[in-house]
Structure 1
Amino acid sequence: MTQILEQTFLGLSLYAYLRLVLIILFAWLLKGVLSKILARLAYRLFRNTSGEQYYERFSAHINKPFGNLLFTIFAYIGINQIAPLLERVWLFKRGSAALATDTKNMIAVKAFTLMDLTDRIFFFIIIFTATGLLVKVISFIFRMLTDKAVKNGDRERQQLLPLLRDVLRVVIWAFMFFVILGVVFQVNVATLIAGLGMGGIAVAFALKDSLENLLSSFMILLDKPFVIGDLIKIDGVEGNVEKIGFRSTHIRTPEKTLVSLPNRNLISNSLENFSERGARRVRMVVGATYGLSKTQLNTIVEQISSRIQQHPDIVEKPNVFLESFGDSAINISVAYFVKTQSATPFDKIKEQINYEIYEIMYRYGAGFPYPTQAQVNTQEINNVLTDQAS
């Protein structure tokens, strides 16, 4: 067996090819197990602050990129077992020999081999995968901090943390881009950055809208016209703020639709923040049947006012009074204010009060009138011709 493995093929012993296969096979079979073990070890860094409740989420975040990174590293180690063979395969030459006797004027000839290409491909994959893993870990950290802010009721942190997370992601991927340019493509990054003068201006113009939205997000954080959870209305869109990103803000409407508005629109347009006023006004007209006595109408008005005032989510005294006489009903005006920070949804509070009004109208009155029309047979009055004759 040993004699067979010592035989050569394309200038390498079969030992080298066997090591390549075994290393890649080992990495493929054990990458899942190794990634879980390393994920458990890495999670110990956060266990003191997060306990075990976040382990499943942390494991789901990093297992796949961790496994891919481990497999790529082992695969690169395996490929290096046949590096001498790959070095002999020239893809192209860089430079040419000058016909001069002076060695200072000689241009070195360097071949770009298959091993060079393999190195760059693996470096690219390793850097890209490691960056993705780092971003996943940072996202997990910010998720823990955001959950803690929600638990403590710190709405300013709920607003700030997602934006910082997004900015940090952009910085990390931008840094990764320049690292790849330097390591993989052999670009002089310092010279490249120094030469971005006019190019940077052109890029700034191309990214004008994105930069404007980014600056607007910082203006929102500084000026604080609203925070996450506030009920706002802008450009005809009304809903609760769910997320303030670095380009847009997400608003959840009462219909549960998620609307994404550019941050610059939130800065440049008029915005109503219903949460800042502490209460939300409800105004309606209740119709009572004609023929009720003054005492009955007065009782209905007092009962509606009393029932509304007893509700725990109502602020101030409601304004209930007989407003006008309609075509088919006596109109009773009802107005009251509902707390915006109530644990009960606004529509549910309105429903509860409407049930109370419904019961009152049937208990102390005659229910609600139906729109009716009566036909009266009478002679048409026409005095126009009479006036002309006289």
Structure 2
Amino acid sequence: MEWFLSFTELEFTMEVFMLKVFEISSEYYFFITLSLAILTLVTFILLRKFFHKAIMSLFKKLGENAPTLLEEINIALKTPLEFYWLCIGLLLTLYISPFVKFVRVDKPNLVIGESINFAVDIIPVDFVNACFHSATMLFLAWCLYNSISIYERILVEAGSKFTLLDNALLIRFCAKVARLIIVVTGLIFIISPFISNIGAIVTGVGLGGVAFTFIAKDTLEDILSGIVLMVDRPFSIKDWIEFDEVEGFVEDVSFRSTRVRTFTQGLVIVPNKILSTSNITNWSAMPKRRIRFELSLNYNTDVKLIEEAIIEYKNLLNSFKDVENDTHLVFLNEFADCALELRIMYYTPFIDLRGYSRVRGEVNLAILQLTRDLGLDIAFPTQTIILENEARYALQIANSGEVDH
């Protein structure tokens, strides 16, 4: 970690400091250094908020015109910065304390009375440096991991402005891959100071990956299918889709599966391999939504009144701003068993359930009122049943006026 912080120079400075303290008082050396170490740690703990604000003030000067971005950076870096500040404080605390053994400083033993006399500098300075190296790597990986969400949002917003770049699913998937790479790489660098042959570990990870491909074949197929879904883009997050017997809104697409929230608020988790081979209907891709229903009229309705009603229904649909013009149809569709069926069909630009239901309800109420104003009778399913005895009784009355008991 010498490229990030010169531990040699810091160690030399601390060694000189220790020698000065030793020259002042070797008898109380332990208590003096321990008190200074505790004071240093308490100071760093109290100043951690100030350190965070100082760093954020630098970002504020660089991005005064992007308050949202600054807030996201603040959220992403707040905890890692405070953590690293405390790590620096802990490093200096250990350096100052009597417990760390420096190469060129022979610290006196702790002597209490005549019975207690032992060395307290039992922590090698190289071990302290290695721990700080790991803490630094953890800090960097932590910052990068939290920053991925910022880059993800920026790319999604930028992609939404350009059709060719609009692929929120692929961006989210790449963000997850980046997070995984950061975690794996960060772990390797974190443990590297404590392992002499880090190359062997990397090689072992590679061989383990080859073995994993044979063991987790289905999982890899799901991951590859997920990549196909990202590139092909049959849907996006929050889209309303339907496939097989599943219908709902897409909540998330992960490495292995896709989460769909159904209209009954159930959560369906579908492996990407199954989803990629299914016939998917993306209802959110509709440019407009059709509304169609049948209006049943009595058979004794006058033909001219039906013709007038068709014209009035068309004029009514034209008067609605939420109904697309020149897309509606009103016509006598069928001679049903119990009624004359008028078909009324139109399109609305509202795709979502709330807007669609509102338009449909308003139009239905207006059609009901117009139907009553025109004096049309809405037919109901009816059925005439003639019993055999009653039919013979009616026939006898018609022929002779007498009833045969």
Q: Say which is worse superposed, 210-219 or 311-320, in terms of deviation.
A: 311-320
Compute the TM-score of the two structures, normalised by the length of structure 2.
0.71
Q: Could you say which residue in structure 2 is the equivalent of 1:107?
A: none
Question: How high is the sequence identity, in percent, across the aligned residues?
Answer: 23
**Aligned ranges 1:1-390 → 2 under 5 Å:** 6=25, 8=27, 12-45=29-62, 47=63, 51-82=66-97, 85-87=99-101, 114-115=123-124, 121-150=131-160, 156-183=166-193, 185-196=194-205, 198-228=207-237, 230-241=239-250, 243-251=252-260, 253=262, 260-276=269-285, 278-289=287-298, 291-308=300-317, 311=320, 312-314=322-324, 317-325=327-335, 329-339=339-349, 345-366=355-376, 368-369=378-379, 379=389
Distance 2:378 2:179 in 1: 61
Give the 3 Å change call, closer, same or farther, for CA 152–351 of structure 1 in structure 2: farther
**TM superposition shift of 1:341:** 6.5
Distance 1:247 1:218 in 2: 10
Query: Does the CA-based 8 Å contact 1:300-1:365 persist in structure 2?
Result: no
**TM superposition shift of 1:236:** 2.7
**TM superposition shift of 1:343:** 12
**TM superposition shift of 1:199:** 2.7
Give the 3 Å change call, closer, same or farther, for CA 313–253 of structure 1 in structure 2: farther
> C-alpha root-mean-square deviation of aligned residues, in Å?
3.8
Give the 3 Å change call, closer, same or farther, for CA 163–37 of structure 1 in structure 2: same
Distance 2:247 2:36 in 1: 64
Compute the TM-score of the two structures, normalised by the length of structure 1.
0.73
**TM superposition shift of 1:67:** 1.0
Q: Secondary structure of the equivalent of 1:314?
A: coil
The gaps in structure 2 that reach 5 residues or longer are: 1-20, 103-121, 393-405
Distance 2:135 2:176 in 1: 23
Q: Say which is worse superposed, 169-178 or 248-257, in terms of deviation.
A: 248-257
Distance 1:64 1:379 in 2: 92
**TM superposition shift of 1:27:** 1.5
Distance 2:385 2:42 in 1: 94
**TM superposition shift of 1:25:** 0.7
**TM superposition shift of 1:209:** 4.2
Q: Say which is worse superposed, 347-356 or 240-249, in terms of deviation.
A: 240-249
Distance 2:26 2:369 in 1: 98
Across the two proteins, how many residue pairs are aligned to each other? 350
Rg larger in 1 or in 2?
2
Query: Does the CA-based 8 Å contact 2:223-2:272 persist in structure 1?
Result: yes
Q: Secondary structure of the equivalent of 1:54?
A: helix
Which deviations, in whole Å up to 9, do the C-alpha atoms of 1:301-345 show, x marking residues without a partner? 333344335555537633333334556654322333444768983
Distance 1:271 1:281 in 2: 19
Distance 2:215 2:273 in 1: 16
Which deviations, in whole Å up to 9, do the C-alpha atoms of 1:325-383 show, x marking residues without a partner? 5566543223334447689833333333323322322222346455667787772569x
Distance 2:324 2:344 in 1: 13
The amino acid of 1:307's aligned partner reads L
**TM superposition shift of 1:56:** 2.5
Q: Secondary structure of the equivalent of 1:379?
A: helix
Query: Does the CA-based 8 Å contact 1:248-1:263 persist in structure 2?
Result: yes
Give the 3 Å change call, closer, same or farther, for CA 235–66 of structure 1 in structure 2: farther
Q: Secondary structure of the equivalent of 1:345?
A: helix
